[in-house]
C-alpha cells in the first residue's frame, strides 16, 4: 500500500498519553498511602520485637540482681567467718627493724654481714638497720623510730640490759615480735633469744687458763662494757673456774669496752703496775689483741699467755691470731646473724620457734685454728 502522505499522518494525543502513563504507574497519593501502610506495619513488627527484647533484658536483670546480691552476701560471710576463725590474708612483704648496739667491734661487723647475707635469700623481707654507737639513749631512739615506721618484727642486740628493757617491752607488748641477740634484757618481754652461753664460755676460758698456768700465776682480766650481760657472764664464769685454784690470782680487771685500742691502753697500764703478769684474759679478741700489742711494745710478750673470745674467721680474726701464735687460745662465739633471719622468717610465717636458741661454742687452739680461719 502506498505510504500515506506525511501531511495525513495521525498526530499524537497529549491527553491520551497522560491517561496511559497514569494507568501504567501508581499515583503519588497511592504510593504515599502504600508507604504509610507498610511503614506502620513494619514499625509495629519492630516495636513488638524491641518490646520483647526489652522484656527479656528486664527479666535477665531481675534474675541477675538477686544472684549478684547472693554472691556478695556469701563472699562477705566467708570473709567474716575467716576473720572470726583467726585467719589472715597471706602477705608477701615484711619489714624488719634491726637495732645493732655498735659497729666498732669486728664481731658485730661479722654479725651484720651474716645477717644481711641471709636476708638477701628472702625477697619477702626488708631490713632497716640502725647503729646505736654504744649509746643507750640512741638505741632507744632508734627503736622508737622503727615503731613509728610500723615494722613487722624487731631484731635487737642491746647495748646494755637495763636501759633497753623498757623500749623492748613496749615493742613486744604492742604486738611486734622481738628477737634479742647475744645480750639479754631484764624480764621476758621478747619472742626469742639467740646466743651462746656466755657463762659457760667464761668457765671454759678459766679452766683453760688454769691448765696453761699449771694452777699457779697472776692474771689480768680485760672486761667488756659494764652492764652488758656478756661481760658479766664471761667474768663470773671465768672466776668460778679459777676459784678451784687458790694459787691463781687476778691482780687487775680494768674495763676496756670491747675495743682493741682501749684494751691496749688498759693492758699497758696493768703491765706497768705489776712486774709479774702470767696471763691476760680478754672478754673478746680485740681486747686480747690490744694486750698482745701492748706486751710486744713493752718487751713483755715472751712467756705471757693471752686468751680471747669470739674466734672470728678471716685474716684479722681471732682464729688467725691463734694460728700465728699471737693468742694462745680463743673461744668461738657464733655471730647469730644467720639464725636471726631464719627465725624471723619462721615467726612471720606464723611458725613455732623456740623461746631460747642456744648456739654452740668451741675452743680454738693452734692445733685446730686452721679449720676456723676460713670464713
CA-based R_g, the chain, Å: 46
Q: Which domains does the chain have, with CATH numbers?
A: 94-194 (3.40.50.2300), 198-333 (3.40.50.2300)
Helices (H) and strands (E) in the chain, counts: 12, 12
In this predicted structure, what is the pLDDT of residue 366? Answer: 97
Q: Which three cell numbers stand for residue 114?
A: 651474716
Q: Alpha-carbon distance 366 to 349, whole Å?
A: 43
Q: Alpha-carbon distance 134 to 228, whole Å?
A: 11
Q: Alpha-carbon distance 247 to 50, whole Å?
A: 113
Give the percent of the chain with pLDDT over 90: 74
Round to the nearest angstrom and report the end-to-end CA distance of the chain. Answer: 137
User: 313-326: per-residue pLDDT in tens?
Assistant: 999 999 999 999 99
Q: What mean pLDDT is predicted for residues 272-283?
A: 98
Q: Which three cell numbers stand for residue 36?
A: 504509610
Q: What mean pLDDT is predicted for residues 7-18?
A: 41
Residue 162, pLDDT above cutoff 50: yes
User: 208-219: per-residue pLDDT in tens?
Assistant: 999 999 999 999
Quick one: which H or E segment has residue 203? helix 198-213
User: 134-147: per-residue pLDDT in tens?
Assistant: 999 999 999 999 99
In this predicted structure, what is the pLDDT of residue 36? Answer: 43
Q: Which three cell numbers stand for residue 266?
A: 688498759
Of residues 233, 238, 288, 270, the one with CA closest to residue 106: 288
How would you list the strands of the sheet with 153-156, edge to edge? 125-131, 94-100, 153-156, 178-181, 192-195, 356-358
SS (H, E, C) 124-168: CEEEEEEECCCCHHHHHHHHHHHHHCCCCEEEECCCCHHHHHHHH
Amino acid at each position: 500500500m502506498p505510504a500515506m502522505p506525511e501531511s495525513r499522518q495521525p498526530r499524537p494525543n497529549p491527553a491520551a498519553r497522560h491517561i496511559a502513563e497514569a494507568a501504567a504507574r501508581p499515583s503519588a497519593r497511592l504510593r504515599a498511602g502504600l508507604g504509610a501502610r507498610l511503614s506502620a506495619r513494619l514499625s509495629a513488627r519492630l516495636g513488638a520485637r524491641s518490646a520483647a527484647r526489652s522484656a527479656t533484658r528486664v527479666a535477665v536483670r531481675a534474675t541477675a540482681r538477686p544472684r549478684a546480691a547472693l554472691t556478695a552476701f556469701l563472699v562477705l560471710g566467708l570473709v567474716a567467718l575467716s576473720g572470726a576463725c583467726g585467719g589472715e590474708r597471706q602477705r608477701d612483704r615484711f619489714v624488719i627493724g634491726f637495732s645493732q648496739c655498735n659497729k666498732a667491734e669486728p664481731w658485730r661487723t661479722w654479725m651484720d654481714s651474716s645477717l644481711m647475707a641471709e636476708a638477701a635469700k628472702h625477697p619477702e623481707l626488708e631490713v632497716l638497720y640502725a647503729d646505736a654507737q654504744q649509746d643507750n639513749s640512741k638505741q632507744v631512739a632508734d627503736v622508737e623510730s622503727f615503731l613509728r615506721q610500723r615494722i613487722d618484727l624487731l631484731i635487737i642486740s642491746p647495748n646494755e640490759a637495763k636501759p633497753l628493757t623498757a623500749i623492748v617491752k613496749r615493742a613486744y607488748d604492742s604486738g611486734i615480735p622481738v628477737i634479742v641477740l647475744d645480750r639479754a634484757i631484764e624480764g621476758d618481754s621478747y619472742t626469742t633469744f639467740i646466743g651462746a652461753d656466755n657463762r659457760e664460755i667464761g668457765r671454759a676460758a678459766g679452766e683453760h687458763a688454769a691448765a696453761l698456768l699449771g694452777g699457779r700465776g697472776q692474771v689480768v682480766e680485760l672486761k667488756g662494757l659494764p652492764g652488758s650481760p656478756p661481760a658479766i657472764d664471761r667474768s663470773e664464769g671465768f672466776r668460778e673456774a679459777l676459784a678451784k685454784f687458790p694459787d691463781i690470782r687476778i691482780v687487775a680487771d680494768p674495763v676496756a669496752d670491747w675495743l682493741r685500742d682501749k684494751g691496749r691502753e688498759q693492758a699497758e697500764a696493768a703491765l706497768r703496775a705489776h712486774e709479774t703478769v702470767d696471763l691476760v684474759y680478754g672478754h673478746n679478741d680485740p681486747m686480747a689483741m690490744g694486750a698482745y700489742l701492748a706486751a710486744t711494745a713493752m718487751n713483755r710478750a715472751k712467756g705471757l699467755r693471752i686468751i680471747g673470745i669470739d674466734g672470728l674467721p678471716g685474716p684479722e680474726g681471732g682464729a688467725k691470731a691463734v694460728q700465728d701464735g699471737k693468742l694462745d687460745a680463743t673461744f668461738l662465739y657464733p655471730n647469730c646473724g644467720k639464725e636471726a633471719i631464719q627465725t624471723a622468717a619462721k615467726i612471720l610465717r606464723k611458725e613455732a620457734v623456740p623461746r631460747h636458741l642456744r648456739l654452740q661454742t668451741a675452743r680454738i687452739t693452734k692445733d685446730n685454728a686452721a679449720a676456723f680461719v676460713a670464713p
